[in-house]
């Protein structure tokens, strides 16, 4: 019958396990060591848990491990060697950080946009002006005037290119927008109606009341 002998199995301890056991054997907690080494407690815990993805990018994790191992009087060369192997593997699994695209508008593009805005504003103003009634001023006759003549000179001004009607009939308008027309009146109250408009605008109308006094009878000889 064969005899069985019990052999002591030497389990390989990872660098994180060595750190944790050494710290516990010294009766220290992570907060105390964090205060001494000026390393955030969460990074010390990440080293013990071998959660390398939780460590900062670059060589920060390696530097923290060297400081931690020296503080616990552990062999740094062995720990760093194992850490580097784990770090290479973890680095391949670490999600790549997406760089934010910063849009910088060139000066030329800004100038083009500004010119487009100015052009659209100008076209909008011209379109609005096209449909607005033109300015219209009657210089003569004044409102509610009394005269003794049977004729009166009606004059005023409007926008160049506008059309003016006097009592429904078109009258000439100068290139500068001025107009003048002689109107024949009747004894008594006369109403003079003037209308001005652009091609596509609403009309603007002004009325003048002119009272022609009764003329004295001609003397008989």
Q: Within this chain, do residues 27 and 89 fall inside the same structural domain, yes or no?
A: yes
Whether the per-residue pLDDT at 13 is higher than 90: the answer is: no
What does the pLDDT look like over 197-216, one tens digit per residue?
888 888 889 999 888 987 66
Q: Within this chain, do residues 149 and 202 fall inside the same structural domain, yes or no?
A: yes
**CA gap 77, 73 in Å, rounded:** 12
Number of CB atoms found within 10 A of residue 72's CB: 19
What does the pLDDT look like over 27-40, one tens digit per residue?
988 999 889 888 88
Q: Give the pLDDT of residue 2.
A: 44
Q: What is the mean pLDDT of residues 61-86?
A: 87
pLDDT band at 7; cut points 50, 70, 90: very low
| Residue closest to 203 by CA, chosen among 116, 100, 133 | 133
Domain span holding position 38: 15-93
**Structural domain contains residue 105:** no
* Mean pLDDT across the chain: 81
- Tell me the whole-structure pTM to 2 decimals: 0.41
Q: Give the pLDDT of residue 12.
A: 64
How many domains are contained in the chain?
2
**Structural domain contains residue 58:** yes
Judge contact between 145 and 215, C-beta under 8 A.
Answer: no
Q: Within this chain, do residues 85 and 146 fall inside the same structural domain, yes or no?
A: no
What does the pLDDT look like over 138-182, one tens digit per residue?
999 998 888 888 999 999 999 898 999 999 899 999 999 999 999
Picking from 39, 65, 93, the residue at the C-terminal end of a domain is 93
Q: What is the mean pLDDT of residues 110-114?
A: 85
Q: Give the pLDDT of residue 220.
A: 63
Q: What is the mean pLDDT of residues 73-87?
A: 86
| Residue closest to 205 by CA, chosen among 217, 193, 218, 192 | 193
**Structural domain contains residue 74:** yes
Whether the per-residue pLDDT at 193 is higher than 90: the answer is: yes
CATH code at position 64: 1.10.260.40
Whether the per-residue pLDDT at 135 is higher than 50: the answer is: yes
pLDDT band at 52; cut points 50, 70, 90: confident
**Structural domain contains residue 120:** no
**Structural domain contains residue 107:** no
Picking from 32, 65, 93, the residue at the C-terminal end of a domain is 93
Strands (E), 82-212: 136-140, 145-147, 151-158, 163-166, 169-171, 178-184, 188-197, 204-212
Q: Within this chain, do residues 147 and 82 fall inside the same structural domain, yes or no?
A: no
CATH code at position 186: 2.60.40.10
Picking from 36, 67, 93, the residue at the C-terminal end of a domain is 93
Q: What is the mean pLDDT of residues 67-96?
A: 78
**Structural domain contains residue 181:** yes
**Structural domain contains residue 217:** no
**Structural domain contains residue 164:** yes
| Residue closest to 195 by CA, chosen among 133, 127, 129 | 133
């Amino acid at each position: 019958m064969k005899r069985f002998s019990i052999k002591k199995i030497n389990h390989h301890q990872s660098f994180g396990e060595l750190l944790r056991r050494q710290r516990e054997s010294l009766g220290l907690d992570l907060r105390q060591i964090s205060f001494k080494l000026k390393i955030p407690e969460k990074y010390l815990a990440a080293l013990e848990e071998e959660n390398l993805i939780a460590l900062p990018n670059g060589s920060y994790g390696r530097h923290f491990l060297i400081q931690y191992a020296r503080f616990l009087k552990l062999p740094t060369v062995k720990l760093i060697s194992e850490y580097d192997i784990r770090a290479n593997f973890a680095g391949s699994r670490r999600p790549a950080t997406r760089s934010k695209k910063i849009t910088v508008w060139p000066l030329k593009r800004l100038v083009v946009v500004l010119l487009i805005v100015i052009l659209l504003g100008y076209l909008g103003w011209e379109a609005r002006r096209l449909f607005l009634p033109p300015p219209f001023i009657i210089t003569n006759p004044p409102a509610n005037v009394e005269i003794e003549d049977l004729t009166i000179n009606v004059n005023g001004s409007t926008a160049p290119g506008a059309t003016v009607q006097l009592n429904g009939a078109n009258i000439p308008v100068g290139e500068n927008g001025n107009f003048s027309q002689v109107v024949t009146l009747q004894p008594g109250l006369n109403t003079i109606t003037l209308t001005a408009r652009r091609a596509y605008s609403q009309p603007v109308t002004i009325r003048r009341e002119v009272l022609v006094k009764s003329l004295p009878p001609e003397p008989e000889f």
